[in-house]
């Protein structure tokens, strides 16, 4: 009720209704990396979801429960969340897509794998989508957490995957991958054009090995 809204606003200093409108649009992350490995090797690494914590620092664990069902534990900015997910599309050596079944947050992910001609490696495109569970107040409270997810450096994590597949190990002194471009950042609704009404999930990529953008979708009501 209004009392809850007042409490949340007092604690966070922000109106939960405004935060909720942005949060309910979700966070959409897209990255592309070129790896000197065969598509089958890349696919095998991803298909065994228990491998993800090896190169994705914000994924603490993935436990396979039964066939295509798994349980994820994620930690971002000191906050832990869990959910169960199901693989809903599986094309060996080409594509993998999953979505959450239940849990603290709604999550969808997909990877597309394609081999480049001329022995120039394999292009891996990764898309991650995060949405809060239903409820205006819950969405408002989780807005800050969703923004922190957007700032997770997926590009660097994919660089770790590349190093793992190309060398068999991840160096503790591995140099951070440079930023893709000036747009490689989280963008809030007030920073987008008021005329832009549809969610922004991708953008033009550069010629770097690791590419992509992170955007929160516009709402038109955030001030």
Cβ-Cβ contacts under 8 Å for 150 (sequence gap 6 or more) = 27, 29, 186, 214, 215, 216
pLDDT tens digits along 84-135? 999 999 999 999 999 999 887 788 999 999 999 888 999 999 998 887 765 4
The pLDDT tens digits of the residues spanning 170-223 come to 876 544 444 343 333 333 333 323 333 333 333 333 333 445 544 444 444 433
Determine phi and psi for 122, rounding to 5 degrees: -120, 130
Q: What's the total number of domains in the chain?
A: 1
Question: CB neighbours of 56 closer than 8 A, spacing ≥ 6?
Answer: 154, 157, 160
Structural domain includes residue 69? yes
In a domain, 80, yes or no: yes
- The pLDDT assigned to 45 comes to 95
State residue 198's pLDDT score.
33
Establish if 167 belongs to a structural domain.
yes
Structure tokens at 172: 């503790």
User: Would you say residue 193 lies in a domain?
Assistant: no
Judged against a pLDDT cut of 90, whether residue 143 lies above it is answered with: no
Establish if 222 belongs to a structural domain: no
Indicate the helix (H) or strand (E) that contains 19. helix 16-25
Q: Alpha-carbon dihedral of residues 170, 30, 77, 54, nearest 10 degrees?
A: -20
Closest CA to 59 of 144, 124, 141, 126: 126
Structure tokens at 132: 């809060």
Domain holding 116, by residue range, is: 2-182+203-213
Residue 18 lies in a domain: yes
What is the reported pLDDT for 134?
Answer: 57
**In this model, does residue 11 exceed pLDDT 50?**
no
CA-CA-CA-CA dihedral for 52, 44, 103, 202, to nearest 10: 80
The pLDDT assigned to 188 comes to: 30
3-state SS of 25-87 is HCEEEEEEEEECCCHHHHHHHHHCHHHHHHHCCCEEEEEEEECCEEEEEEEECCEEEEEEEEE
Q: CATH number of the domain that 32 lies in?
A: 3.30.530.20
| pLDDT tens-digit readout, 17-73 | 445 455 556 778 889 999 999 999 999 999 999 999 999 888 999 999 988 999 999
Per residue in 152-171, pLDDT (tens digit) is: 677 888 889 999 999 998 87
* pLDDT of 78: 77
With contact defined as beta carbons under 8 Å apart, do 125 and 30 qualify?
yes
């Amino acid at each position: 009720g209004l009392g809850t809204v007042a409490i949340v606003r007092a604690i966070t200093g922000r109106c939960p209704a405004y935060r909720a409108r942005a949060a309910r649009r979700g966070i959409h992350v897209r990255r592309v990396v070129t790896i000197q490995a065969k598509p089958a090797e890349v696919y095998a690494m991803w298909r065994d979801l228990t491998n993800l914590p090896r190169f994705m620092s914000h994924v603490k664990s993935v436990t396979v429960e039964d066939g295509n069902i798994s349980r994820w534990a994620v930690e971002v900015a000191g906050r832990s969340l869990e959910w169960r997910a199901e693989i809903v599309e599986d094309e060996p050596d080409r594509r993998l897509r999953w979505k959450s079944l239940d849990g603290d947050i709604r999550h969808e992910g997909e990877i597309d794998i394609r081999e480049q001609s001329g022995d120039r490696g394999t292009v891996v495109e990764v898309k991650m989508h995060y949405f809060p569970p239903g409820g205006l107040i819950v969405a408002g409270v989780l807005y800050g957490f969703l923004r922190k997810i957007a700032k997770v450096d997926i590009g660097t994590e994919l660089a770790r995957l590349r190093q793992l597949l190309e060398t068999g190990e991840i160096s503790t002194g591995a140099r951070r991958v440079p930023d893709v471009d000036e747009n490689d950042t989280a963008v809030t609704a007030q920073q987008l054009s008021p005329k832009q009404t549809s969610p922004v999930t991708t953008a033009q990529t550069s010629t770097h090995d690791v590419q992509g953008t992170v955007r929160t979708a516009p709402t038109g009501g955030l001030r």
